[in-house]
Chains A and B, each alone.
Chain A
Amino acid sequence: MPVAVTAAQTPETPARSRWASSNWVSSRWGRRALVAAVLCAVIVGGAFWLCRRERVAAKRLLDRGNWVQARTKLRRLLWLQPADSELRLMMAEAFARDDSHSAENQALEAVEHLRCIPDNAPQGLHARIREARLTLLVLHRPMAAQALLNRALAVDPNAAQAHTLLWTILSLTGREDLAQPVFQRLYELGPASSRREYLTAWFYSQMDLGQITAGLDEQMGFRRFADENARRVELNRLLAYRHAEPDEPVVHAAVARWFLDEGDPEQALHVLEQGLQIAAAPDDAYFVAALVAVLIELGRLEQADELFARWPEPHEGHYYWNSAGLLQAELHWDNRAAAKAYDQALAAWPGQIDWKCQFRKANCLALAGDEQHAAEARRRSHAIRDQFKPDVLLRLRRALEDPDDPENLKSIVDFYAAFGCDTEVRYWKETLAGGG
């Protein structure tokens, strides 16, 4: 006992020495403590075992699509382990994949759980991409989704899924000028086996975007029946984006561009005027580009010129230079300066396929007295325009179904070569040569 008393009275004594003391163990208190410890260990071990079993059971329920029971189990588990990222991810899936309730509510619940997973957790990358996917496809918030993808790419710049989804967002919001580097990165990252798929998708996103967006629009609920007017579906989608993200200049600009393309610049301006309430709008190049384009269409050239002078940095890219060319030609009547600006616009994607820009350059050269180069630019414009003829695109679509056929590969390569798209030519050749 004294020993025990001594031991009890000297709490700084290392535990090992206490346990090692047979006197202490043999004491009544010691025995009780030991029992308690064993019991605790058993309880903790049991709990741990139970948790493991429940986690496995939850996974099994998820696999079986038994979302409600899975969520019940996961809720209990998360009570015990609220910071467990894997459980959060599972819970998010249990909501996201349950189509028995409103998709939006389920997505919101899922996103709540995904948000609890920090970027630097092992599941962080997956969580951000999953969250971005739900945010885009169910909550219809492309700009929020884009921000999430940027976080994902900060975690892993090589995340192919994130690049793919980012490319989709850029296509859905009409920012094709930003899509090319994303595609190229994806191509370089992707496994050889995926490259053909990327190249095919790139073709459609450039030449026949509707082929890609049709499926997504159906998935997002904007396309209710197969032969629904694609343009109307697109408007519904863009309006939904604007409704969900009223503070994002990009979505206002995307809606305005739709009206501009439909020949209603007045309505486009109305949309942009609403967008101008957003403080960040004047700093958004895409928004400014849309506003400049609308003002030019409306013949409000001086206003367009004033706005163009305030174009946010950097002063580069296809839309910047195209606007510069238009204003030089239409307002300042400086055809040489306009032709130079168009040259810059043609050099920046999607300038290579912008036959209208090429034709405007031809007009400027002709009016500047350079008929020889004007004729050349005109020929080039017509050659590019001809590549968009339905029969050419149909032939390409067929070729893309079997690019292993040398004739088909040649058609594809020739098609891109006609645009001067050397990168695509190289990609197709090396992909097929590598058996991708």
Chain B
Amino acid sequence: MTGARSAGGLPPAVLPVFIDVASELGVDFQFFNDARPDRFFLPEMMGGGIGWVDYDHDGQLDLLATNGCVWPEREKTPASTVSRLFRNRSGSGFDDVSFSAGAACRAFGMGCAVGDYNSDGFSDIYLTNYGENILLANLGDGTFSDATAASGTGDPGWSTGAAWFDADGDGDEDLYVVNYLDLTLENHRVCRYEGIAGYCGPGSFEAVPDRLFLNAGDGTFLESAVALGMVGDDGKGMGIAVLDLDDDLLPEVYVANDMAANFLFTRGPRDEVADDESAVRYRDAAIPAGCALSGSGQVEASMGIAWSDFEGDGHVDLYLTHYYSRKNTLYRNLGGLHFHDDSFGSRVAAISKQFLGFGTVALDYDRDAASDLFVANGHVLGPNMLPFELQPQILRNDGRGRFDDISSLAGSYFADARLGRGVAQADFDNDGDTDLAVASLDRPLSLLRNQTVTGRHFLGLQLRTPNRVAPVGGRVVVTVGGKSQVQPVVSGGSYLSVSDTRLVFALGAAETAGQVHIFWPSGRVDQLSDLSGDRYWTVMEGHPPCLLP
């Protein structure tokens, strides 16, 4: 009966190597949460997020970090305590352009979402806050302007996740905003755990409904969550991922709720969707689909969301991070909008129970065509309760959707306990492997450059549509050596963060991708053959691919 007690199998052939290069590359940032002794005001514990965005359209992903402020005396916030935007100099360094670009916002920041709401080809940024949210419109000249008031998207509550996608099928990007708790300084209270003061959890406060801002196409938005049926009970939301989970090329909206059932808003089948946008209706199918609760029917404290086809069966699965001593959950997608809580069989239950996960991303660190997982951990009850800081984890997928915790083999970053929060993945140096940015409450932001040596090839794809709406709901199938890999086009994900939207496939020893099928949300399928590997291609719907600059 004795056996390995953490890493279940043999050591992996390729060990992950992630080096924190934040300081070296000029990313000097730490989230300010205004934690005051004995106040235990929960927003202090929940930020912040990270976004990868090519705001200046130069082909390099720039880095956005949300920030807190002095609360409630916002005016007392030091001038330098603002959200930050770091411009990427081709992977060799970052310049802080927060003020010059007009992205330096003073708010109690949580998360971010990146979209192009005015379809001008430049990425706009939505910042979720404790307090009014902020919409930064990209002016196309390397600067942003605050379009919150004009757009009507300044939800004043406590927002967390957010995602841009075309919810009503009218050809522009709408905005789903996840809201958390009805918590103010007035109704805030301190909880005691065995007599020790700490932060109260979500059970102490009421939920606030999420918002769906429908894009009117003229720079304004209309809140329409109820009208479109995107209403769930008791949603204390954190993470959000918008992607197609039932292979109909229409995106589902999956919302991770804290100590409440998760939401899965799905639209009717394509042939039921009329041209008239008023006919677009969503329904919450999470319960019958089996991804609202744990397999035993328990509400879970869901925070972050990762996705991938973890066991290679062609369906995109969901991975959720949860509270300490509870398991993280892997919902295996069985097709037909049916999920099975496969946390035991996949071993993610066993390797997550002594952690409290927030941000999480799927990444194929060793390019073996099986998505692995990164999880940022950290507790929430307060410094008086142990454990507080927790080590991050990297979980290796054995190719059959079974995971081993190989963090102890992954270098010094994984040895240090932290208060990890937002995580976003991106190939910021465009070398084909997935790097990570990780926000922590107690440490400066980490920029983990992936220096794993695999000797394996990759194929990178960036998908674009003629109307400049991100093809969320679409998917790409790459077949190499008879084996297919599926990746969806997603908006949102992880925790409060935005990752690289490019899709990276593992080619193994092959130098070209045999067959590439792109399933666009429009229903069109583009088939590409023999794309050269080890580079990024841009594919415009209906057009031949071209190399990214």
Chain A interface (Cβ within 8 Å of chain B)?
A: 227, 229, 262-266, 269-270, 272-273, 276, 291, 296-301, 303, 326, 329-331, 355-360, 362-363, 366-367, 371, 374-375, 378, 381-382, 385
Give how many A-B residue pairs fall within 8 Å (CB-CB).
88
Q: Name B297's closest neighbour in chain A (CB-CB).
A: A359
30 contacts between A and B (CB under 8 A): A227-B195, A262-B325, A263-B326, A264-B354, A266-B6, A266-B350, A269-B1, A297-B350, A298-B344, A298-B347, A298-B350, A299-B345, A299-B346, A300-B8, A301-B344, A326-B344, A330-B344, A356-B296, A356-B298, A358-B297, A359-B295, A360-B295, A360-B296, A360-B297, A363-B290, A366-B290, A366-B338, A367-B334, A374-B288, A385-B297
Q: What is the CB-to-nearest-CB distance from B503 to chain A, in angstroms, rounded to a whole number?
A: 29
Contacting residues, chain B, for A356 (C-beta < 8 A): 296-298
Tell me the bound Cα distance from A303 to B350 in angstroms.
15
Contacting residues, chain B, for A265 (C-beta < 8 A): 349-350, 353
Instruction: Give the 8 A-B residue pairs with the shortest CB-CB distance, closest first.
Output: A359-B297, A263-B325, A299-B347, A356-B296, A263-B353, A298-B350, A330-B345, A381-B297
Tell me the bound Cα distance from A265 to B349 in angstroms.
9
Contacting residues, chain B, for A366 (C-beta < 8 A): 288, 290, 338
B194 within 8 A of A: yes
Tell me the bound Cα distance from A362 to B338 in angstroms.
12
**A299 near B353: Cβ-Cβ < 8 Å:** no
Q: Name B338's closest neighbour in chain A (CB-CB).
A: A367
B172-206 CB contacts (< 8 Å) to partner A? 194-195
Do A378 and B287 contact each other (CB < 8 Å), given the known contacts A263-B324, A263-B326? Answer: yes
Contacting residues, chain A, for B483 (C-beta < 8 A): none
Tell me the bound Cα distance from A297 to B5 in angstroms.
13
**B293 near A359: Cβ-Cβ < 8 Å:** yes
Partner of B344, one of A263, A299, A385: A299
Q: Name B340's closest neighbour in chain A (CB-CB).
A: A367
Q: Name B195's closest neighbour in chain A (CB-CB).
A: A227
Q: What is the CB-to-nearest-CB distance from B319 to chain A, in angstroms, rounded to a whole number?
A: 14
Partner of B350, one of A272, A299, A330: A299
Contacting residues, chain B, for A363 (C-beta < 8 A): 290, 295, 340-341
Q: What is the CB-to-nearest-CB distance from B317 to chain A, in angstroms, rounded to a whole number?
A: 15
B2 within 8 A of A: yes
Q: What is the CB-to-nearest-CB distance from B157 to chain A, in angstroms, rounded to a whole number?
A: 27
Partner of A382, one of B3, B297, B324: B297
Contacting residues, chain B, for A371 (C-beta < 8 A): 288
Contacting residues, chain A, for B8 (C-beta < 8 A): 299-300
Tell me the bound Cα distance from A381 to B290 in angstroms.
14
Q: Name A355's closest neighbour in chain B (CB-CB).
A: B297
Q: Name B5's closest neighbour in chain A (CB-CB).
A: A266
Tell me the bound Cα distance from A267 to B350 in angstroms.
11
Q: Name B290's closest neighbour in chain A (CB-CB).
A: A363
Instruction: Knowing that A264-B353, A363-B340 touch, tell me 14 more A-B residue pairs with CB under 8 angstroms.
Output: A262-B325, A264-B325, A265-B350, A266-B5, A299-B348, A300-B8, A301-B345, A330-B342, A330-B344, A355-B297, A357-B296, A359-B293, A359-B295, A360-B296
Tell me the bound Cα distance from A436 to B327 in angstroms.
46
Tell me the bound Cα distance from A338 to B477 in angstroms.
34
Contacting residues, chain A, for B340 (C-beta < 8 A): 329, 363, 367
Q: What is the CB-to-nearest-CB distance from B288 to chain A, in angstroms, rounded to a whole number?
A: 6
Contacting residues, chain B, for A375 (C-beta < 8 A): 288
Q: Name A265's closest neighbour in chain B (CB-CB).
A: B350
A interface footprint on B1-34 (CB within 8 Å = 1, 0 otherwise): 1110110100000000000000000000000000
Contacting residues, chain A, for B195 (C-beta < 8 A): 227
B402 within 8 A of A: yes
Tell me the bound Cα distance from A331 to B347 in angstroms.
12
Q: What is the CB-to-nearest-CB distance from A364 to chain B, in angstroms, rounded to a whole number?
A: 9
Tell me the bound Cα distance from A358 to B338 in angstroms.
18
B293-341 CB contacts (< 8 Å) to partner A? 293, 295-298, 324-327, 334, 338, 340-341
Q: What is the CB-to-nearest-CB distance from A77 to chain B, in angstroms, rounded to a whole number?
A: 52
Contacting residues, chain A, for B349 (C-beta < 8 A): 265, 297-299
**B402 near A299: Cβ-Cβ < 8 Å:** yes
Tell me the bound Cα distance from A362 to B287 in angstroms.
11
Do A263 and B354 contact each other (CB < 8 Å), given the known contacts A299-B8, A299-B344, A367-B334? Answer: yes
**B290 near A276: Cβ-Cβ < 8 Å:** no
Tell me the bound Cα distance from A315 to B45 in angstroms.
49
B350-396 CB contacts (< 8 Å) to partner A? 350, 353-354
Q: What is the CB-to-nearest-CB distance from B314 to chain A, in angstroms, rounded to a whole number?
A: 16
Contacting residues, chain B, for A358 (C-beta < 8 A): 297
Q: What is the CB-to-nearest-CB distance from B408 to chain A, in angstroms, rounded to a whole number?
A: 14
**A331 near B297: Cβ-Cβ < 8 Å:** no
Contacting residues, chain B, for A273 (C-beta < 8 A): 1-2
Contacting residues, chain B, for A367 (C-beta < 8 A): 290, 334, 338, 340
Q: What is the CB-to-nearest-CB distance from A299 to chain B, in angstroms, rounded to a whole number?
A: 3
Q: Name B193's closest neighbour in chain A (CB-CB).
A: A229
Q: What is the CB-to-nearest-CB distance from A158 to chain B, in angstroms, rounded to a whole number?
A: 40
Tell me the bound Cα distance from A296 to B324 in angstroms.
19
**B345 near A331: Cβ-Cβ < 8 Å:** yes
Tell me the bound Cα distance from A385 to B1 in angstroms.
35
Q: What is the CB-to-nearest-CB distance from B232 to chain A, in angstroms, rounded to a whole number?
A: 15
Partner of A296, one of B288, B297, B344: B344
From B6, B8, B290, name the one whose CB has the most chain A CB atoms within 10 angstroms.
B290
Contacting residues, chain B, for A298 (C-beta < 8 A): 344, 347, 349-350
**A229 near B344: Cβ-Cβ < 8 Å:** no
Q: Name A377's closest neighbour in chain B (CB-CB).
A: B297
Q: What is the CB-to-nearest-CB distance from B466 to chain A, in angstroms, rounded to a whole number?
A: 40
From B5, B296, B325, B338, name the one whose CB has the most chain A CB atoms within 10 angstroms.
B296
Contacting residues, chain A, for B350 (C-beta < 8 A): 265-266, 297-299
Q: What is the CB-to-nearest-CB distance from B341 to chain A, in angstroms, rounded to a whole number?
A: 8
Tell me the bound Cα distance from A359 to B290 in angstroms.
10
Tell me the bound Cα distance from A366 to B297 in angstroms.
14
Q: Name B341's closest neighbour in chain A (CB-CB).
A: A363
Q: What is the CB-to-nearest-CB distance from B1 to chain A, in angstroms, rounded to a whole number?
A: 5
Contacting residues, chain A, for B295 (C-beta < 8 A): 359-360, 363
Q: What is the CB-to-nearest-CB distance from B233 to chain A, in angstroms, rounded to a whole number?
A: 12
Contacting residues, chain A, for B338 (C-beta < 8 A): 366-367
Q: What is the CB-to-nearest-CB distance from A398 to chain B, in angstroms, rounded to a whole number?
A: 22
Q: Name A232's closest neighbour in chain B (CB-CB).
A: B194
Q: Name B299's closest neighbour in chain A (CB-CB).
A: A385
Contacting residues, chain B, for A329 (C-beta < 8 A): 340
Contacting residues, chain A, for B6 (C-beta < 8 A): 266
**B297 near A229: Cβ-Cβ < 8 Å:** no
Q: What is the CB-to-nearest-CB distance from B387 to chain A, in angstroms, rounded to a whole number?
A: 12
Contacting residues, chain B, for A297 (C-beta < 8 A): 344, 349-350
Q: What is the CB-to-nearest-CB distance from A329 to chain B, in angstroms, rounded to a whole number?
A: 8
Tell me the bound Cα distance from A331 to B290 in angstroms.
18
Q: What is the CB-to-nearest-CB distance from A274 to chain B, in angstroms, rounded to a whole number?
A: 11
Tell me the bound Cα distance from A227 to B347 in angstroms.
36
Tell me the bound Cα distance from A360 to B195 in angstroms.
36
Q: Name B403's closest neighbour in chain A (CB-CB).
A: A299
Q: Name B324's closest neighbour in chain A (CB-CB).
A: A263
Tell me the bound Cα distance from A303 to B2 in angstroms.
11
Tell me the bound Cα distance from A265 to B5 in angstroms.
10
Partner of B1, one of A264, A266, A303: A303
Contacting residues, chain B, for A301 (C-beta < 8 A): 344-345
Q: Name B355's closest neighbour in chain A (CB-CB).
A: A263
From B1, B287, B288, B326, name the one whose CB has the most chain A CB atoms within 10 angstroms.
B1
Contacting residues, chain B, for A355 (C-beta < 8 A): 297
Partner of B194, one of A229, A272, A299, A359: A229
Q: What is the CB-to-nearest-CB distance from B5 to chain A, in angstroms, rounded to a whole number?
A: 5
Q: What is the CB-to-nearest-CB distance from B12 to chain A, in angstroms, rounded to a whole number?
A: 17
Contacting residues, chain A, for B353 (C-beta < 8 A): 263-265
From A291, A359, A375, name the one whose CB has the most chain B CB atoms within 10 angstroms.
A359
Tell me the bound Cα distance from A356 to B194 in angstroms.
28
Tell me the bound Cα distance from A41 to B86 in angstroms.
113
